[in-house]
Amino acid sequence: MPDAFNFSASPFDCLTPDERRLVRHSVDLGYYREGDTLLAPGMTPTHLFVLIKGHVAQWDGEELVATFGPDDCFDGRALLAGKVSDRFVATEEVIAYELRQQAVTELIASNASFGALLFADLGQRLGALSQRQDQHQLQALTLARVDEAYLRPAREVDAGTDIVSVARILNQEQSNNVLVRDASGAAPRLGIFTVARLAQAILDGRPLDQLPVGELADYPLLTVQRSDQIGDAMTLMLSHRAHRVVVLDGERIIGVLEALDLFSFLSNHSHLISVQIEQAQDLDALSQAAAQITRMITLMQRSGMRVTLIARLVQQLNAQLFERAWQMIAPAELVANSCLFVMGSEGRGEQLLKTDQDNGLILRDGYLPPADLGAICERFSQALANFGYPECPGRIMVSNPDWRAPLADFSRQLREWLILPDPDSLMKLAIFMDAHAVCGDTGLLQQAREAVLALAPDNQLVLGRFAAAITAFGESQGWWNKLFSLGEADAALDLKKEGIFPLVHGIRSLALARRLAETGTAARIAALVADGTLEHKMGAELNDCLSFFMGLKLKAGLAEQDSGRAVTGRIDPARLSPLERDLLKDTLAAVKRFKALLRLRFHLDAM
């Protein structure tokens, strides 16, 4: 066999030197002309094919299900099953290595990773990709357990202990908090008192040696389990704007994880950004904090943090940023009598790098807004643009009067979009269904959403039109050709159109039909699996696909930023590893299967 066998391609890149020698001694070369059949139902599989040159199409009956190019291998599953299920046809002249079945069997027995990559389902293969990143990614600190960080001792006092006694304890133990156990009520409870509450105790006016600490403690405790991941503890702190969490082993308290200790452990700046946002006194200071978010994302991605966790942290920080900016620009009375919300990927908690603004404003019915409301909203949209969030080309922003209105008018508009639909109104409705409140009275947004959900299941034709947007995108030559047009100028693949949008909107459509209030795609999938709308296997597969797409899109976007180019969201297959291209092919095929399910559920072929 030639020494040119590419051992850097998956799944052969995980082989040991001895296993590579086995491969070299167990392959033959095969040549096939265009139109030749390499495998077909009824044939007995004897080899694993590894393409050197040319392309092979896999057909399930009359349906093209996959295309294979150089460095791809097939059909391991046929070898395992002992029979061929699909037809594999050369679409051009093909030269391939043919690895004998006995060698494949020996490799599977000696190397679990090889077998997993060759035969495992999509979720397991995506997991294998994650496990095979660089060493610093394998040791990503955000995946570490909470109890691997420094935990401070947890000191408890009775709720009746006076403030002076508590202050002595804090001073003696060089601590800034004590846990407070209150057994006076019907149900005992545990809270926390921190040095930040000492000022409130002094201003209370009562003698400090007579003031019970239980009256100033915060209830209930924020807790995590010692086995939880550091990243999850960080998200909990950010979402509650807390500086510590209590760590449990089951029900037993084992210590306190302070924010400074956590973020020293992580060595990233998300907490510092959060503090910077809260302490900002003007828009310029907020702009500086906004610039830090992108740098934080870069550090997290390169450290191997889960992309879904990065997205959750970005959502929390963006929400704080938008809230603080709105509070600086809008009068307090307007803030109190309205709800500012974000939509799209930002609302779903799936945005990573800065994208177009998608936001709106609901006013309380009967409230008379300031005469310069339009100018206030223009200043807010301009502030976000200055922070790096471009204006929405479709003008889906608070600066557009169509996206700010009293609750009654807003709800009426939403119902009209649903009952009297056209393509534009249905897309606006889809964007709104992902809305997430960031400032003001969140109940206003909830009431507007309920107005839509109450009508959703009553019109199957409208639901079908809503879901039909999944067919709006797609390229005539097919995404599989993009994966093998390596190096060509037009070979870039629009991952949002081909994968992310049909997945996200398909789940959104099913959620609307089921009156689900969840806004995030993962939360919607969980709810749809729970009520039986989706099978568990498909739900897990779609979650894996979305995470994979988000990771590829982030990686490509950061590369575009590093080179000074605009972030497009397009993926260049030539920049992917062979395993990433293989998984991209599988994930896009999974989305294709999901679209077929949606066509049946919403009768899209009849529309």
> Tens digits of per-residue pLDDT, 220-274?
899 999 988 888 888 888 888 888 999 999 999 999 998 877 876 665 556 667 8
Main-chain dihedrals φ then ψ at residue 291, nearest 5 degrees:
-65, -30
What distance lies between CA 37 and its chain's CA centroid? 41
- Is the pLDDT assigned to residue 15 strictly greater than 50? yes
Higher pLDDT, 568 or 156: 156
Mean pLDDT, residues 123-142 taken together: 51
How many helices and strands, by DSSP H and E, does the chain display?
26, 20
Place 124 in a pLDDT band, splitting at 50, 70 and 90.
low
| Statement: residue 143 has pLDDT above 90 | no
Q: Backbone phi, then psi, for 96, in 5-degree steps?
A: -145, 150
What confidence score (pLDDT) does residue 51 get? 92
Q: Is 324 left (phi over 0), alpha (psi -120 to 50) or beta?
A: alpha
**Model pLDDT, residue 289:** 86
> At residue 137, what are phi and psi to the nearest 5 degrees?
-75, -40
How far is Cα of residue 403 from the mean position of the Cα atoms in its chain?
26
Identify the band that residue 135 occupies on the pLDDT scale cut at 50, 70 and 90: very low
The confidence band for 437, taking pLDDT boundaries of 50, 70 and 90, is very high
**Of 179 and 420, which is predicted with more confidence?**
179
CA 494 to chain centre: 18
Mean pLDDT throughout 455-483?
68
Walk me through the domains of the chain, giving residue ranges and CATH numbers.
12-119 (2.60.120.10), 146-266 (3.10.580.10), 306-454 (3.30.460.10), 467-606 (1.20.120)
Q: What is the pLDDT of residue 465?
A: 85
Most confident of 123-127, 330-334, 354-358: 330-334
The mean predicted confidence, pLDDT, of the chain is: 85
Question: For residue range 285-337, what is the model confidence (pLDDT) as tens digits?
Answer: 899 888 888 878 887 777 667 788 888 888 889 999 999 999 999 999 999 99
Entry pTM = 0.68
pLDDT score of 59 more than 70: yes
Residue carrying structure tokens 């839509």: 452
Q: Percent of the chain, pLDDT > 90?
A: 42
- pLDDT at position 114: 82
- pLDDT-derived band of residue 482, with 50, 70 and 90 as boundaries? low
pLDDT tens digits, one per residue of 26-38: 999 999 999 999 9
What pLDDT band is residue 475 in, cutting at 50, 70 and 90? very low
Helix (H, G, I), strand (E, B) or coil at 190: strand
More confident residue, 88 or 569: 88
Q: Which pLDDT belongs to residue 125?
A: 61
pLDDT: which is higher, 454 or 93: 93
* CA–CA dist 43, 172 (Å, integer): 81
Phi, psi of 67 (to 5 degrees): -130, 135
pLDDT at residue 307, rounded to an integer: 86
Residue 487 has pLDDT above 50, yes or no: no
pLDDT at 48 over 70: yes
Is pLDDT larger for residue 128 or for residue 170? 170
**More confidently predicted of 506 and 575:** 506
- Residue 1 confidence (pLDDT): 46
The pLDDT value recorded for residue 336 is 96
| Structure-token pair, residue 587 | 């994930």
Percent of the chain with pLDDT over 70: 89
